[in-house]
Structure 1
Amino acid sequence: MQSLKVLLLSAAVGCGTGLPAAASSSTWYNSEGGRVRLVTSGKPDEAGRIHGVLDIALKPGWKTYWRDPGDAGVPPQIDISASTNIANATFSFPPPQRHDDGYGKWAGYDHPVSLPVRFTLSAPNEPAVIDADIFLGICETICIPLQTKLTIDPGSDPDNAEDAALVKAALATLPAPARPDFGVNILPGDRETLIVEASFPGSPEAADFFVAGERDYMFGVPARSEKDGKLVFAVPILDRPTTTPTDGGLYYTLTTAAGAVEGLLPFP
């Protein structure tokens, strides 16, 4: 992809504000490469969370990024600090695809995609208004940042069946949790390489492994090989923190012809 500097210099192309909607979804915000909106299921669940999606309707030929966009991209971001009674918002990501545009290889989507987002209420029994600043990169031959503010009052239309169905459908696209027979295990490596062994049903030709850089880690494109009948991915560690974190882990997604799973890896 084009460099982050090019993206930021182009910021004016993709900025704008979506008007608030008296519904469980926002109005659409239109940009050069597509349009975006927020949709929610309206009612919070028993844990005080409102489930929603960032609905990204890309135009043909345009792309957007996964949670780890590579060294020159922009991951989807959401800032809910201006909201009422919203403590935090967390994205989830459908399985990405590997893209090579001549500038580099990166993970993302070349089709319209709905990214599930979970909003946690500060006070579960109180009204909430989602006032979200959205920032993401979308690309054709060049990349531009799309930046807008989207506003929803989920309680104004809490029984909207169409919005609830869209949220449910988006959640169904997420990878399943990894399990012993479908996932990856870390093999011995070094400070410059993350090596994982993949277990999964079906043919290895369609399998791919995506790991997201977190906590100052940065990764290159995995190299594939086979060892003792198992598919092995060797991932270059391009950058890492001075001290290896002892809490949390690295998000990964394993995609295959039989489906996709996701999980957490310990920091290498």
Structure 2
Amino acid sequence: MQKSLKILLLSTALGAVSGLPAIASSSTWYNSEGGKVRLVTTGKPDETGRIQGVLDISLKPGWKTYWRDPGDAGVPPQIDISASTNIADAQLSFPAPQRHDDGYGKWAGYDYPVSLPVTFRLSAPKDAAVIDADIFLGICETICIPVQTRLTVDPAADPDNVDDAALVKAAVVALPAPARPDFGINVLPGDHENLIVEASFPGSAEAADFFIAGEQDYMFGAPARSEKDGKLIFTVPILDRPSTMPTGGGLHYTLTSAAGAVEGLLPFP
């Protein structure tokens, strides 16, 4: 989608809105034009000082939201916990996305309500924590609206909420499994302009798809499919790259098939 059509900059959407004071292991819902969002946690930190939660996104029919890579003009879900008490960081995880083509471009996301798992790490595991999170994401119908709000949770206020814990557990179970030799990706020799991978997966090739996240200044186009020696090949255009190759880590990818989804890290091309 062209950026001028893709993002409608509404001052009411961009203005940060604080929720009501935290009274449970989940926040209040924040309502926007295309849906609503809240933050849910299990309430109790585990023995490593981590609290599991989800960013719960309820979309109205016909609306969509983005995967970790939103394409060239989208808004990926983001969470900023810098205003929190005793929270060192928060890491979002993403279920397998779908491929969308809106006529202006192809991008990855969800056209149904989705819960994104988030792991909060406490600075001091034995001390009390309050999650005060600034949330930023895009939801789209014919145009995309950026949604920004602050969601607050006091995990200790309702530490044994069975419904909240079940929602978090279900979201974690729904995540892609780790890639393995019979269901995963092998990187093939490419060039400066293309990332080429060979996919292994159960089921038919028609149901398989490959998603890679442009991170650390990488940007990728939609993958092209081909077949070589009975193997499905994805050729992904590298639209932009950092001036210096990053060190450590890699690029997140998800491979989907009729049998489910796996994820992993690819070395920087």
For normalisation by structure 2, the TM-score amounts to 0.97
Give the 3 Å change call, closer, same or farther, for CA 5–78 of structure 1 in structure 2.
Answer: farther
| Equivalent position SS for 1:205 | helix
Deviation, 1:6, is 5.7
RMSD of aligned residue pairs (Cα, Å): 1.2
8 Å CA contact 2:64–2:140 kept in 1: the answer is yes
* Counterpart residue identity of residue 222, structure 1: P
2-side partners of 1:206 and 1:168: how far apart?
27
* Counterpart residue identity of residue 12, structure 1: T
Report matched runs for 1:173-212 at 5 Å: 173-212=174-213
Farther-moved stretch of structure 1 (12-21 vs 27-36): 12-21
* Counterpart residue identity of residue 3, structure 2: S
2-side partners of 1:20 and 1:111: how far apart?
29
Output one character per residue of 1:20-69: Cα deviation in whole Å (capped at 9) or x when no partner: 33100000000000000000000001111000000000000000000000
Instruction: Could you list the structure 1 runs, at least 4 aligned residues long, displaced by more than 6 angstroms after superposition.
Output: none
Task: Find the counterpart in structure 2 of residue 255 from structure 1.
Answer: 256
8 Å CA contact 1:2–1:142 kept in 2: the answer is no
Task: Find the counterpart in structure 2 of residue 264 from structure 1.
Answer: 265
8 Å CA contact 2:9–2:146 kept in 1: the answer is no
For normalisation by structure 1, the TM-score amounts to 0.97
Percent identical among aligned pairs is 80
2-side partners of 1:97 and 1:26: how far apart?
28
Task: Find the counterpart in structure 1 of residue 7 from structure 2.
Answer: 7
8 Å CA contact 1:193–1:236 kept in 2: the answer is yes
8 Å CA contact 1:4–1:73 kept in 2: the answer is no
* Counterpart residue identity of residue 146, structure 2: P
Task: Find the counterpart in structure 2 of residue 126 from structure 1.
Answer: 127
Deviation, 1:228, is 0.7
Give the 3 Å change call, closer, same or farther, for CA 256–245 of structure 1 in structure 2.
Answer: same
Structure 1: runs of 5+ lacking an equivalent: none
Task: Find the counterpart in structure 2 of residue 74 from structure 1.
Answer: 75
Structure 2: runs of 5+ lacking an equivalent: none
Task: Find the counterpart in structure 1 of residue 57 from structure 2.
Answer: 56
2-side partners of 1:7 and 1:221: how far apart?
20
Task: Find the counterpart in structure 2 of residue 44 from structure 1.
Answer: 45
Task: Find the counterpart in structure 1 of residue 66 from structure 2.
Answer: 65
* Counterpart residue identity of residue 65, structure 1: Y
Report matched runs for 1:27-176 at 5 Å: 27-176=28-177
| Equivalent position SS for 1:12 | helix
8 Å CA contact 2:251–2:266 kept in 1: the answer is yes
2-side partners of 1:86 and 1:111: how far apart?
30
